[in-house]
Structure 1
């Protein structure tokens, strides 16, 4: 009982008046102190009694504009070299706080508090510093605008079901150095946080004004609370932030980080004469980070180790026509990568496969964000296989108005005599609080393999983010010759127009139905060279979703679509047909478009309970089988379960299953099943052990046309494909601070002839690896 009394007294006895968000007291003069504190989560030093107190939180999700159910106070003050925050979070519903000793950034299923610092006060981008009740850290950036190569996010919007303005573009890949400790107390929790100015970029002026907002996630109820009374009826979340004012004489000191790295590998494969051979290798490398000024940073890298310590999560790829997106995870690219974001992802750094060295400059001068990088890739990834590809990328974006931006981009890939270059401009203009308009014009020029081509990308978007009614209308034209060699544009030669409209309704406090939204969508695609000949693809859909009391989420989709077949995809195809004297080979006839195709899906997500969270999606559709040019029917199931049996142990189970059958005779054209298990044991905040197992079972029948005749590709009968592969990855990880780490791991790939039998598994590759790096901060 005494801890509860102490917490209540602490909440009521701060000598500094509170700044209530609900009362619109959101402009805060931050006290300065030369006091020193021990970051232990206790908030018992006298300086906390003089800190500014941010209070009066409001509910933001699932329903905005209501007082928060649970009281939250956030204390803030600053010294010469750091800013300090103290969180006092009340929980009036009993022992329901969710908190474990999770790995860094892995606290989304726990109660947590996020501090958003818009250090340029430009309402475009904020540093995100998150903590769970035990002080486990989460960090990154949040933006209202573009999503880019780092996080793979899309720009926010008010009317598209694939875009969520309530979450913003959150990228948790960057890691910043800050201190945090927390503890559970009776009636809530407390967290103490110190963020050094060395970890931040901010304005080049003596007196600082920063944007700020605080978000609190309460898992037992599914609510998210906001310090400022942010509302859904706004095209910008960061534009609704408060401010921290009057901070002066901040001492950042010399910001210089040198990180030498040593790696070693032992790669195994079957020997030609039988048995097993291992090839060893080791490399040295180094990274440099220099904060030239508080608003400008230079990065350099030599022979960086970009090895993945965990394979990308498997994606179902059968019956896909276009490349799939995988997010960036490599540290050199992640630092400041948000400054390289563009509409339509013209910059995608995973196209730089195995860099040998590079340099990067990123920062903000006045109202203009600047980013430039020059990186040399390994010659193994040259188009001709003989040269060193060099990527040059430059991005500038200047602010005007309240939230609007005007930007330009230049990229080039120089590969011996070959090259691919791109130049473009974009503008995003916010108006009338709820709306923005975005325009983009780009041109590319490519010379490769003795062939020259060029083409434009033109795009326009109009978006409304209203509380009950929103929309997202867009049109995009991409020429056949357009090539973004440094970006991710996986389909060209089309004009794509789409409309998305949203209607939302909100329940009364405590009602079973908290909020419901329905999206109405329509899209049409034309060939870029001949739009007058009619559409080649299109769809209409209705997507209802609902959030229930306690955090349950339900959704569904009903769609109607049609698809045409691209004749260039069937070049080299022929068909075997019965003839009067035997088997004849005839040309493949591209079939007419598949029309009147219906599809549906259902999905559900549980609340975040103390020990388990689960989500599942089931869908079915009439679909073309694109490789065959024939009609098909698909069934797909996706499920994920997160288990937290103890504060230190986590398990994530995922399953994806896709089956495509031919509608002509019901035979199976393809199937793919990918189960995945990840186990993590967090020994302490710096040390954890992980094992990941992923099984990929793929079966694709030999190609047949819609009449059942075998298809030949370049004169060879297609044999089909069967793959049953198990990948195991083991990792020991020690990361006391970002940049300093020890990785030790082992990975192996095994295959078997019959799926999921586990009796005839045979190794195809394996390998041991180690990595050690230490960051010297000056």
Structure 2
């Protein structure tokens, strides 16, 4: 134990030394290198076809000289990229010309919307693409992102916290096309002003940046040339020349009707048809405020959760997929997760609003959740009375690109309530330093036992990341917050540190080496050691597209007794920097006094331009296995994209440990994107309950929605 403590102290001292040493070796980026691009007003009709043939484009001088972020930071891009900006009263037009010395090296496979950059914080770029980032308030914190690949596949997302929070669930009506040429490829964007929030004025000044990813070379280029990391709002350039004196009020009334046939054996529902209607409203009354309302929303078209293997004793977190909760969710994300919308079941009605008023970001949600019935086929009691949930978020800009914030959550039902208040700070400091802090209190009950806080200091760029964090979770914090939030555990004094570094070799055989490690230890409030964890990973990516990755993890856990777990793995992949990739992995070790082996394999194929197929297999074997946890998990995903707004998707999975087979299929046609659409969905979920009975949930669902744009 003493050796573990000494090792932890050594790690902390090394991290502090690295932070200080790197800080001393850096210089601040001055304001004199900020690039400026001017938008030219046009009265000519711009046809969005990706060709840039209109005369207005010829009258604009292009901006070029993109700078590499990776692999050779600060050097000129290896391929020439030009960008131009036009506008009229309704739209912002942006055109790209992406020159390529070898057009046959252009890589484009993805046809599904919002998949170009992967998901999560560590975005995975795979296709060639161009990116636009627009900071309409020029606050160097938040913005909009639009991207397209050479196939014309689009991505849009909101960016918050100076690029550290990205929400690809935002979906709005804008146009873009791409065309391939002998010299490379071009792209043309039309972005309506009405889909963005901003303050109306003459001679507006917006933040802006343009990016290009060249997949064959693993090269990321940015126009501003000052980037330390992808999507950093504060390190972009400036857009000038916009003169907009009015903005259209954006009102969408979206009525919808649904019809479904259900067979649910646990509820004794046998094939009856059920029809419902509902209404969604989106209204932007002023240029810097967006509001949404929903009555009787239907979430039956939402795809089911993927099966996961859980080698811990804590609850698994699943992503939110319901659109009402997705859009704008980036404002409610904090390290201590006090609002987790998956805790909310079906809702009767709800509303939300987001806006920017001078230095304040404001967001509000209020929903009425219907009564939840207990499932008699599980051991847990899931029943809960009808409840009202309110969430309020306020965030104030401070310093250059930092914020302080308040988040309050209230869940009220007949006979009880849960209330949580969170205060947070995000500090973007010089020398790539980044500090965050959060304090949370919860009621009812003793505030000390129901409170938590953390302090975190990080230094990060595109090639390295070091952090040191202290967290304190009260003894009753999990029980208090989990009715509205997501807390895996409590009763902790926790220290956590991590190191990541990426060496760009770009040699004859090796492209890069990526090293990551994490060290964690925590005690109870009674000063009893509960856990420590040492995790190391090393990855090599070769020029021939082969990758090799090794991982080692050693941990101590205290539950009803002391457990010493460990796991080792080796993973081999091919072409993993592109979408069409293959991987195999073998992991083995000890898990809570059981030996285990985990075999994994995955592959992504593109049999044709429109058809994509993903398959993954996991085989988990425990020895001994008294609880029959040994399992096979298979997941198959097929997507046929006729065009960006017409698709068929199939999602199939099985889990042998619970004898589960799940099928989800959807036909979707957005005839007036993004809101007017037809969906036909079929789901079949067959599984063995805890009472060893076979249950079947089968639903055929039809939905028609039409947007009335007023």
- What TM-score do you get using the length of structure 1 for normalisation? 0.79
Cross-structure match for 2:378? none
Cross-structure match for 1:312? 305
Q: 1:771 to 1:469 in 2, by over 3 A?
A: closer
- Residue among 484, 487, 496 paired with 1:486: 484
Alignment of 1:640-679 (within 5 A): 640-662=602-624, 670-679=629-638
State the Cα distance separating 1:184 from its structure 2 match.
1.4
* Structure 2 unaligned spans of 5+: 1-31, 118-125, 375-380
- Residue among 235, 243, 246 paired with 2:241: 246
Q: 1:363 to 1:284 in 2, by over 3 A?
A: same
* Distance of 2:636 and 2:544 partners within structure 1: 28
* Alpha-carbon contact 1:90-1:188 (below 8 Å) kept: yes
Cross-structure match for 2:533? 539
- Residue among 322, 334, 337 paired with 2:314: 322
* Distance of 2:490 and 2:399 partners within structure 1: 34
> In the alignment, does 2:641 pair up with 1:682?
yes
Alignment of 1:168-207 (within 5 A): 168-207=164-203
- Residue among 442, 451, 456 paired with 2:451: 456
Cross-structure match for 2:140? 123
Q: 1:174 to 1:525 in 2, by over 3 A?
A: same
State the Cα distance separating 1:53 from its structure 2 match.
2.1
> In the alignment, does 2:21 pair up with 1:85?
no
State the Cα distance separating 1:454 from its structure 2 match.
5.5
- Residue among 429, 438, 449 paired with 1:440: 438
Question: RMSD over aligned Cα, in angstroms?
Answer: 2.9
State the Cα distance separating 1:473 from its structure 2 match.
0.5
State the Cα distance separating 1:204 from its structure 2 match.
4.8
Cross-structure match for 1:575? none
Cross-structure match for 1:138? 155
Cross-structure match for 1:412? 410
For residues 121-164 of structure 1, what are the alpha-carbon distances to aligned partners after superposition, in whole Å with 9 as ceiling and x for unaligned?
2222221111111322111123346xxxxxxxxxxxxxxxxxxx
Cross-structure match for 1:513? 510
- Residue among 248, 251, 254 paired with 1:256: 251
* Alpha-carbon contact 2:110-2:127 (below 8 Å) kept: no
- Residue among 636, 639, 652 paired with 2:598: 636
* Distance of 2:383 and 2:396 partners within structure 1: 39
* Distance of 1:609 and 1:401 partners within structure 2: 37
Q: 1:178 to 1:675 in 2, by over 3 A?
A: same
For residues 170-220 of structure 1, what are the alpha-carbon distances to aligned partners after superposition, in whole Å with 9 as ceiling and x for unaligned?
321111110112221112111111000011112354432222222222222
* Distance of 1:211 and 1:378 partners within structure 2: 43
Q: 1:87 to 1:610 in 2, by over 3 A?
A: same
Cross-structure match for 1:572? none
* Distance of 2:448 and 2:385 partners within structure 1: 21
Q: 1:764 to 1:469 in 2, by over 3 A?
A: closer
State the Cα distance separating 1:405 from its structure 2 match.
0.7
State the Cα distance separating 1:293 from its structure 2 match.
1.3
- What TM-score do you get using the length of structure 2 for normalisation? 0.86
- Residue among 682, 697, 709 paired with 1:746: 682
* Distance of 2:87 and 2:211 partners within structure 1: 20
For residues 348-407 of structure 1, what are the alpha-carbon distances to aligned partners after superposition, in whole Å with 9 as ceiling and x for unaligned?
222221111011121111111101111100112699957421001001111111111111
State the Cα distance separating 1:463 from its structure 2 match.
0.7
Cross-structure match for 2:582? 614
State the Cα distance separating 1:594 from its structure 2 match.
2.0
- Residue among 39, 47, 58 paired with 1:49: 58
Q: 1:50 to 1:487 in 2, by over 3 A?
A: farther
- Residue among 279, 285, 289 paired with 1:286: 279
* Distance of 2:475 and 2:266 partners within structure 1: 45
Cross-structure match for 2:362? 370
* Distance of 1:101 and 1:623 partners within structure 2: 38
* Structure 1 unaligned spans of 5+: 1-22, 146-164, 566-589, 625-630, 699-722, 754-760
> In the alignment, does 2:217 pair up with 1:221?
yes
Cross-structure match for 1:733? 668
For residues 493-515 of structure 1, what are the alpha-carbon distances to aligned partners after superposition, in whole Å with 9 as ceiling and x for unaligned?
222211113344332x5553333
State the Cα distance separating 1:649 from its structure 2 match.
0.9
Q: 1:59 to 1:636 in 2, by over 3 A?
A: farther
State the Cα distance separating 1:550 from its structure 2 match.
6.2
For residues 69-89 of structure 1, what are the alpha-carbon distances to aligned partners after superposition, in whole Å with 9 as ceiling and x for unaligned?
222112212111110011111
* Distance of 1:386 and 1:333 partners within structure 2: 20
* Distance of 1:142 and 1:81 partners within structure 2: 23
3-state DSSP of counterpart to 1:95: helix
How many residues were matched structurally?
658
* Distance of 1:299 and 1:506 partners within structure 2: 46
3-state DSSP of counterpart to 1:37: coil
Q: 1:272 to 1:557 in 2, by over 3 A?
A: closer
Cross-structure match for 2:652? 693
Cross-structure match for 1:403? 401
Cross-structure match for 1:210? 206
> In the alignment, does 2:129 pair up with 1:112?
yes
State the Cα distance separating 1:29 from its structure 2 match.
2.3
Alignment of 1:324-343 (within 5 A): 324-343=316-335
> In the alignment, does 2:550 pair up with 1:556?
yes
* Distance of 2:277 and 2:114 partners within structure 1: 28
Q: 1:136 to 1:466 in 2, by over 3 A?
A: closer
* Distance of 1:640 and 1:618 partners within structure 2: 12
> In the alignment, does 2:415 pair up with 1:423?
no
Cross-structure match for 2:563? 594
Q: 1:490 to 1:25 in 2, by over 3 A?
A: closer
Cross-structure match for 2:263? 268
3-state DSSP of counterpart to 1:333: helix
State the Cα distance separating 1:300 from its structure 2 match.
1.0
3-state DSSP of counterpart to 1:344: coil
* Distance of 1:279 and 1:514 partners within structure 2: 59
3-state DSSP of counterpart to 1:54: coil
- Residue among 348, 351, 366 paired with 1:356: 348
* Distance of 1:377 and 1:522 partners within structure 2: 40
Q: 1:116 to 1:547 in 2, by over 3 A?
A: farther
3-state DSSP of counterpart to 2:444: strand
State the Cα distance separating 1:323 from its structure 2 match.
1.8
Q: 1:204 to 1:323 in 2, by over 3 A?
A: farther
* Distance of 1:661 and 1:175 partners within structure 2: 47
> In the alignment, does 2:436 pair up with 1:477?
no
State the Cα distance separating 1:602 from its structure 2 match.
2.6
For residues 519-555 of structure 1, what are the alpha-carbon distances to aligned partners after superposition, in whole Å with 9 as ceiling and x for unaligned?
343210111x312x3x111012322234433665543
Cross-structure match for 1:769? 701
Q: 1:553 to 1:248 in 2, by over 3 A?
A: farther
Structure (1 or 2) with the larger CA radius of gyration: 1
Q: 1:323 to 1:514 in 2, by over 3 A?
A: same
Q: 1:752 to 1:444 in 2, by over 3 A?
A: closer
* Distance of 2:307 and 2:116 partners within structure 1: 23
* Alpha-carbon contact 1:536-1:564 (below 8 Å) kept: yes
Q: 1:104 to 1:502 in 2, by over 3 A?
A: closer
Q: 1:492 to 1:192 in 2, by over 3 A?
A: same
State the Cα distance separating 1:91 from its structure 2 match.
1.9
State the Cα distance separating 1:35 from its structure 2 match.
2.0
Q: 1:695 to 1:62 in 2, by over 3 A?
A: farther
* Alpha-carbon contact 1:257-1:290 (below 8 Å) kept: yes
For residues 234-254 of structure 1, what are the alpha-carbon distances to aligned partners after superposition, in whole Å with 9 as ceiling and x for unaligned?
798222111112312254212
State the Cα distance separating 1:269 from its structure 2 match.
4.1
